[in-house]
């Protein structure tokens, strides 16, 4: 189809101004800032440094306001985005390193994300600390201990006890100790075993109060999701305990840091009926469903899955250990595996 364009003089002028500014920029890049000089010392932030100083010059000279604000956005880059604080409780088990490795690879791809990892235990372990440093993700490493009477005994069904409660509260305390009221940012509770689509983080990035979206593979459903009418959350298609005030999984919402700082007492609680953690927190922050901000195309898109990792069968390990303990009977001494 043929389209007709009308070139208005103002557009022509803007284009000319931008072209001029662009040319001037190139001159600046090559001369004053020596940004393209291969011998010029290129520290980690050389591009940012160059862009910042060029922008400052542009603004000082009063040239091309539009072009310089575009350049400012370019120079500030990701730093202009609100930070996402992803809170991950985690505990010692065989799959822990695998879970955290996978999660760290997701988070590496998310701009302006701060990972708060809270180990369930008496202290932060070097093992997790090393993994976090290797990950290259901006992080804070904390710990909080679940009291023994609340820890699942071997063989007990996983739903019997709430998990990650005191660890998430520890992260909330860190946020409140670290940031003054009014600070921007978004807090998301990212368990270590779920699967996250990168687009989810851009959906939650501009959460004003509490934002919500569907979660796949949870509550006995393929998708558990908020029901949205005219852009407002009016209910939930939840099958498991559907009468909870907010029948949402931990992976299905984010809260603005500002809102959390305005409610300094809002947190999770150990002794609550099953499945009430989310409703307990949200009930302290908003008055009802109407305040929730639906994301992911009005809650029609699944961008996070409540995947759970099967506990690996490691019975050969105990058989091998028993064999070793029994000694090298029947084996020649030099054939037995070295220990210690």
Q: Can you give the binding site for Mn ion, defined by CB under 5 A? A: 191, 193
244 near ligand UGA (CB under 6 A)? no
190 contacts: CB under 8 Å, gap ≥ 6 = 86, 87, 88, 103, 196, 251
48, 278, 310, 335: which one is catalytic? 278
CB 200 to Mn ion: min, Å: 16
Nearer to ligand UGA, 33 or 249 (CB): 249
Question: Quick check: 91 binds ligand UGA (CB under 6 A)?
Answer: yes
- Least distance in Å: CB of 94 to Mn ion? 15
Q: Is 278 exposed, middle or buried (0-12, 13-18, 19+ CB in 10 A)?
A: buried
Cβ closest to Mn ion, residue 136 vs residue 312: 312
CB of 161 to Mn ion, least distance (A): 13
Q: Verify binding: residue 224, ligand UGA, rule CB under 6 A.
A: no
How far apart, in whole angstroms, are the C-alpha atoms of residue 204 and residue 286? 17
Q: Is 164 in the site for ligand UGA (CB under 6 A)?
A: yes
Q: Which of 25, 50, 89, 228 binds ligand UGA (CB under 6 A)?
A: 89
> Does residue 267 belong to the site contacting ligand UGA (CB under 6 A)?
no
Rounded distance, CA 77 to CA 96, Å? 34
Of residues 103 and 292, the one with the C-beta less far from ligand UGA: 103
Q: State which residue, 120 or 193, has the beta carbon closest to Mn ion.
A: 193
Q: Based on C-alpha coordinates, what's the Rg of the chain?
A: 26
User: Of 129-137, 186-194, 240-248, 310-318, which segment contacts ligand UGA by CB under 6 A?
Assistant: 186-194
Q: Which stretch binds ligand UGA (CB under 6 A): 67-75, 190-198, 238-246, 317-325?
A: 190-198
Q: What is the C-alpha to C-alpha distance for residues 143 and 139, in angstroms, rounded to an integer?
A: 13
Is 249 one of the binding residues for ligand UGA (CB under 6 A)? yes
167 binds ligand UGA (CB under 6 A): yes
CA angle 189/267/246 to nearest 5° reads 70
- CA-CA distances (angstroms) from residue 211 to 103, 113, 235, 274? 22, 17, 14, 23
Stretch that binds ligand UGA, among 26-34, 51-59, 123-131, 159-167 (CB under 6 A): 159-167
Q: Which is nearer to Mn ion, 55 or 306 (CB)?
A: 306
Residue nearest to ligand UGA (CB): 164
293 is an active site residue = no
Euclidean distance between CA atoms 110 and 186, whole angstroms: 13
Sequence-distant (6+) residues with CB within 8 A of 196 are 103, 106, 190, 303, 304
Q: Which span (71-79, 189-197, 281-289, 312-320) binds ligand UGA, by CB under 6 A? A: 189-197
Strand partners, 157: none
Q: Does 176 bind ligand UGA (CB under 6 A)?
A: no
- 216 Cβ contact list (under 8 Å, min separation 6): 222, 223, 302, 304, 305, 306
- The span from the CA of 157 to the CA of 211, in Å, is 31
Q: Which of 69, 66, 74 is nearest to 13 (CA)?
A: 66
- Point out the residues that are catalytic: 278
- Given the rule CB under 6 A, which residues bind ligand UGA? 88-91, 120, 146, 151, 158-159, 162-164, 167, 191-193, 249-250, 277, 306, 308
């Amino acid at each position: 189809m043929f389209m007709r364009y009308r070139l208005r003089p103002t557009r022509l002028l803007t284009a000319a101004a931008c072209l001029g500014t662009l040319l001037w920029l190139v001159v600046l890049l090559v001369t004053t800032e020596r940004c393209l000089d291969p011998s010029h010392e290129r520290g980690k932030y050389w591009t940012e440094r160059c862009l910042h100083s060029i922008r400052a010059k542009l603004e000082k000279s009063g040239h091309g306001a539009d072009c310089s604000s575009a350049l400012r956005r370019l120079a500030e880059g990701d730093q202009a985005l609100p930070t996402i604080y992803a809170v991950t409780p985690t505990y010692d088990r065989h799959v822990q390193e695998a879970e955290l490795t996978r999660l760290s690879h997701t988070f590496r791809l998310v701009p302006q994300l701060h990972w708060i990892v809270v180990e369930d235990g008496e202290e932060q372990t070097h093992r997790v600390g090393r993994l976090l440093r290797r990950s290259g993700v901006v992080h804070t490493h904390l710990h909080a201990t679940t009291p023994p009477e609340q820890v699942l005994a071997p063989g007990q069904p996983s739903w019997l006890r709430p998990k990650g409660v005191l660890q998430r509260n520890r992260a909330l305390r860190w946020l409140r100790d670290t940031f003054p009221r009014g600070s921007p940012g978004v807090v998301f509770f990212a368990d270590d075993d779920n699967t996250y689509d990168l687009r989810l983080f851009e959906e939650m990035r501009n959460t004003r109060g509490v934002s919500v979206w569907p979660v796949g593979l949870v509550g006995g459903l393929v998708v558990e999701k908020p029901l949205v009418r005219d852009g407002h959350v009016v209910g939930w298609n939840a099958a498991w305990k559907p009468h909870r005030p907010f029948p949402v999984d931990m992976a299905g919402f984010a809260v603005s840091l500002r809102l959390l700082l305005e409610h300094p007492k809002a947190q999770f609680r150990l002794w609550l009926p099953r499945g009430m953690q989310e409703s307990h927190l949200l009930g302290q922050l908003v008055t009802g469903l109407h305040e929730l901000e639906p994301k992911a195309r009005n809650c029609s898109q699944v961008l996070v899955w409540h995947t759970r990792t099967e506990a690996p069968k490691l019975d050969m390990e105990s058989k091998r250990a028993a064999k070793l303990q029994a000694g090298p009977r029947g084996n020649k001494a030099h054939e037995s595996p070295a220990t210690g």
